[in-house]
Structures are given as structure tokens and as C-alpha cells.
Amino acid sequence: MLKYVSCKMSFFTASTLLGYIAIPLAVSLVVFCAFVTSRDVIPVITVPGTFHFYFLNFLVLFFSFNMLFNFICASTFSKRLGTGMTKGVGGWRGCLNPTTVASPETLAELERIASEGLQYNATQRRMRLLEDPKRFCLVCLRLKAPREYHCKVCGVCVCKMDHHCPFVNNCIDVENNRYFFLFIVWLGIGTFLDFTIPGYAYLTQRRYEQRVEALLYSRRGPQSVRAPYGAKGAQLTTFPVFLALVFTGTIFVCMLLFLYTGGRAMLTNTTLIEHAVVEDKIEYVYQSTQYAYRSPYDLGPWRNVIEMFRTPGDPVVSYLLQEERATPLRLQSFAQYCRLVWCRVLTVGWVALPPTLRPADHDGMHYPTFDSEIRGESEEMRLVVS
């Protein structure tokens, strides 16, 4: 038993320690790849001072900034309601991650949500809250909100917990989910470009060097072989460039997997925990019926994207959503279709492209569901009514 406890403890300690090592490692990886591309590759494959030269350097800066910004935000921000105790979580981890005590209003609201959930029968409960409404956290000593789970590494309950990511040393939750997803997107596109463009130049230069070598040892007379990148081309096959290519290629492949899981979670408004623990169980239960299971929080792919990214009272999002509502439900012409697509492109561009420090539009206790939408409890519905 003691052995099991100490093994478990060392796993969580290792996860926290890995986080402290992983953050500087990830930052230096991004900076190293950007530096090598900018110093060794771009001046060789383009002519310095031309449009291409500045454009490629701008791309390197743009992607590096977006990656680092979203990475730092994902490792900094989180949504926690606090514990029910008068003091924070104890131990050395408690000192490293001081937690706040939940306010009396929060505790009262958690009690209200739980007692409201208990009024429903088992089937309705499953449809509304996914699980037992009166869940109690034995570490934080308070009721858990819907979609809230206790993270053993952070030592606190986390709102809409997705997973604990050792690479950002933080839980991916309702607050930093959007930063984490954007980090993956920028890292995915950035490493793809940083792998393919210098990778092509590396291979071209390598082929040229092999041909020169072959000619040196052949018995044929002197022949001319054109150097694809001139005398500076030798810079392309140095060890730092090779190392940067290995890093970017590996990270790109990993990001493809992360993009798939993150994108699926975003479009269905589920978390990894809900997918693994709750959905699989419910799907199994639903197998014996003719109904298909759908998470009560899944409002449709488009609304789910907005739910993840929106910030409170964003006038641009409200305006674009109103514009979208102005288009009829049944599209009658190609122009209407174009208008809808254009509105959505602008909305996604606005919420995802400019770096923002605005908090997410969630209190960590209430999430819109099918039936709250139908009853007109969400902001959108209120806007339509007024």
C-alpha cells in the first residue's frame, strides 16, 4: 500500500518537475528553430534585401510570436473556483500553486446546481449533467461544478478540465483551452513551413554536393555542375540546420495528432475526460437503444467554436452573429450562402487571429446546453427576443 502511494506521489511530482523543465525547453526549441532558419537558411535561399527575403523573415517572426504568446498564456491562465477550505491546498505543491478559497456565493451556487440536478430522474440527469450532480471533492472539500474535475498534479479542482499538460505545466481548462488550441495550430503550420521550405533547400544542396563528390572520384574529364545556391549553399547542410529540420519535422508530426484530438474536442464541445470517461460509458448504455448519444453541451460545430473562443461582451462577435442571424435559416441563393460564409470567416478571424488577453466568457459553473438554448437562457436567444 505504502509502495503504491509513494509510486503515485512520485508520478505526480515527476509531472510537476517535468513541467518546470519542459517550459524553458519548449521556448528554447522554438527560438532555436526560428534563429537557425533566419540566420542560415533564408539569406541563402533568397537574395537579401528582396521582397522574398523580408516576407520569409516576417513569417518566421509572425509564427514564433504567435506560438510563444499562446504557449505562455496556456501555461499562465486557468479557471479555478477555489477550495471549500479556509486555507489553500497544503504541502509544497500548495506553496507553488497557491489556491484561493471559493467565495460563499460560489459555494451556494454549487449547492443550488447540485440540488437542481437531483430533481431530475436518472435519464434526464444523464441528458443534462452527464454524471452525478452531487459530486464532492474530498481534497478541496466542496461540491464540484458540472464538468469540473480534480487535477492531482495541480492539487485543485479545474473547471471543464481537458487534461493536465506537462509541457505547459498547467491544466487545459475552460480558460486556456483556446490558447492551447491556437498554440497547436500555429506550431503545426509554423513547423510545416519551417520543415518543407528549408527541407527542400537542404535536399537540393545535398544532391549537388553528392554530384560534386561523385565527379571528383570519377575518371571522366572536367565537367561543370551548377551550384543551386552559389557559394553560400554550404551553409544549408550544416549541423544546426539538420538539427532544426529534425526538431521541426518531429514536432509537426506530433501536432497533426494533437490537431486531430483538439479539433474533434472543439467541434463537439467535449473534453478529453468527458470523451474517455463519460461518453464511452454513455455510448455503451445507448447501444441497447435506438438513440444516438450526443453531449448535452454540444450546440453544433459552429456554436461550439464560438463558445470556446468568445470573450465577455465582445461587440465584434455580437455584431457578426447578429449579421449571421439576419440570413434566413433555409438558404435560397448563392449570395446568401456567400454572406454566411463571409460572416463566419470574419468571426473566426477576429476571435483567433489577434492576440488577446481578455478572459474567456465562462464562470466555470454554467455552460449552455440544448435545453438552456431552447428555453432561451443563452445570450444569443435573449438578443433575438429583445
Residues lying near Zn ion in the complex (CB under 5 A) are found at: 137, 139-140, 150-151, 153-154, 157, 164, 171
Distance from the Cα of residue 188 to its chain's centroid: 11
Chain-centre distance for alpha carbon 29: 19
Q: Where are the alpha helices (DSSP H) in 218-314?
A: 239-268, 272-273, 280-286, 301-309
Min CB(154)–Zn ion separation in Å: 3
Shortest CB 167 distance to Zn ion, Å: 12
Place of cell 561543370: 224
Which lies closer to Zn ion via its Cβ, residue 157 or residue 351? 157
Q: How far is the CB of 164 from Zn ion (least distance, A)?
A: 3
- In the complex, the smallest distance separating the C-beta of residue 149 from Zn ion, rounded to whole angstroms, is 8
Nearest to Zn ion of 149, 309 (CB atom):
149
Which is nearest to 36 in space by CA: 313, 243, 296?
Answer: 243
Nearer of residues 179 and 247 to Zn ion, judged by Cβ: 179
367 near 160, Cβ under 8 Å? yes
Residue 49 gets which letter from DSSP?
A: T
Give the SS3 label for residue 224: coil
C-beta of 143 vs 157, nearer to Zn ion: 157
Q: Does residue 54 sit in helix, strand or coil?
A: helix
Residue of 182, 385, 375, 383 whose CA lies nearest to 296:
375
CA angle, 235 then 24 then 78, to 5° = 135
Q: Smaller CB distance to Zn ion: residue 107 or 137?
A: 137
CB of 74 to Zn ion, least distance (A): 12
